[in-house]
Amino acid sequence: MTALTKNAPRTRLTHGHRFRDPVAATTRIFAGSMVALNASGYAIKAITTATRIRGVALAEADNTEGAAGAIGVDIERGPFLMANDTTNPVTRAHIGTSVYVVDDNTVGSSATSTIVAGKCLDVTPEGVVVEIL
């Protein structure tokens, strides 16, 4: 393709916050779980070795008996309340900075051997408000 030389209307596919991703083989993702993508681009529950974070699952997706892509998972991006890690907790000093995946429910402040979950918007007694972009 070449760069535009005139106005070009764009079709908006979503509001930019909800997507449906194919789920990796032998994978179960719970509703409310942070969802990541593996190296092949399939949805998995967020783990420290995933390639990148994708969003939060809106409903359970159980592909434990299926091949990669046999089912999809609806995910949403935006701000979500996640559990705070007890080993490397996120504090108010981390507001506005990146926080990191500990597991599919938990974020922490350590970047060692993990991936970015999103940006810390707030820290409350209930957990960490993370904006997943």
In this model, does residue 1 exceed pLDDT 70?
no
C-beta neighbour count of 38 within 10 angstroms: 16
Give pLDDT tens digits for 41-61: 999 999 999 999 999 999 999
Distance CA 99, CA 83 (A): 12
Residue-level pLDDT at 13: 60
Pairing between strand 98-101 and 116-124? antiparallel
pLDDT per residue over 14-40, tens digit each? 566 899 999 999 999 999 999 999 999
Structural contact between residues 80 and 35, judged by C-beta atoms closer than 8 angstroms: no
Domain segments of the chain: what residues? 18-76, 78-132
Give the model's pLDDT for residue 14.
59
pLDDT digits 0-9 by tens, 57-80:
999 999 999 999 999 999 999 999
- Residue 111 has what pLDDT? 97
Three-state SS at 82: strand
Mean pLDDT to the nearest integer, 90-96: 98
111 or 2: which carries more pLDDT confidence? 111
pLDDT for 62 equals 98
